[in-house]
Amino acid sequence: MLEAIVSGVMLGLVLSLLVGPVFFLLIDTSIKKGFKRGVYLSLGVLLSDMFYIAITYFSSVAAGVVNNYKWEIGWAGGLLLMVFGIVTMLKKPNIKSADLDLSDNGSSGWVEVLKGFLMNLLNPFVLIFWLGVSGSVSSGNSFTYMHTVIFFISVLTTVFLTDVIKAWSASKLRAFLKPNLLIWVNRVSGFGLLLFGIRMIYKMVIST
């Protein structure tokens, strides 16, 4: 159980470092509309991640697909994580003023939830990411069903809490949103994803 928690927290920390459209949306929303609206936005992102986990892992388990194709899913999942990590390391963030320019129309906080949900849901890389994670986790024999649930809870809790921290400190973070810093953030997070993919493939190999 401890391994599931530690692995989930580690992956959650890596995921929280990724710089994408949701990051800019969270920062800008928190600056212009306040901490509470930033939390609502983070909640929407959390719900979309839960949705992707449900369709990429738990629905597959229910159908028995994972048990029948553990080896194939394990390798594909680990490789997807590695590719995602390499692409992230090489990607250079393109910062535009429009990325941090959202109008405050005084809408309900639940509109921020929907905005965060759709922004994350419509990002194809998010689906690819969770496909990789679900495939890697499902291929390992060391995780029971309960361990897997705890692992995903740890990942989502870590990501949500770090997003809340980002929202709280948004006014200070904006001064540091420089291209060079974001490039290094991408490199660190991408390298972490690469290591996670290698680690999951290694565990799958030694468990067979």
Can you give the pTM of this predicted structure? 0.68
> What domain range is 66 assigned to?
2-206
Number of domains in the chain: 1
pLDDT on residue 99: 46
pLDDT on residue 17: 77
pLDDT on residue 160: 94
Other residues' Cβ atoms within 10 Å of the Cβ of residue 205: 13
In order, the DSSP letters of 98-148 are: GGG--------HHHHHHHHHHHHHT-HHHHHHHHHHHHHHHH-SS--HHHH
Q: What are the average pLDDT values for consecutive 10-residue runs of the chain, which has 208 residues?
A: 83 79 76 83 92 79 60 73 77 53 57 85 75 72 76 92 88 64 72 77 71
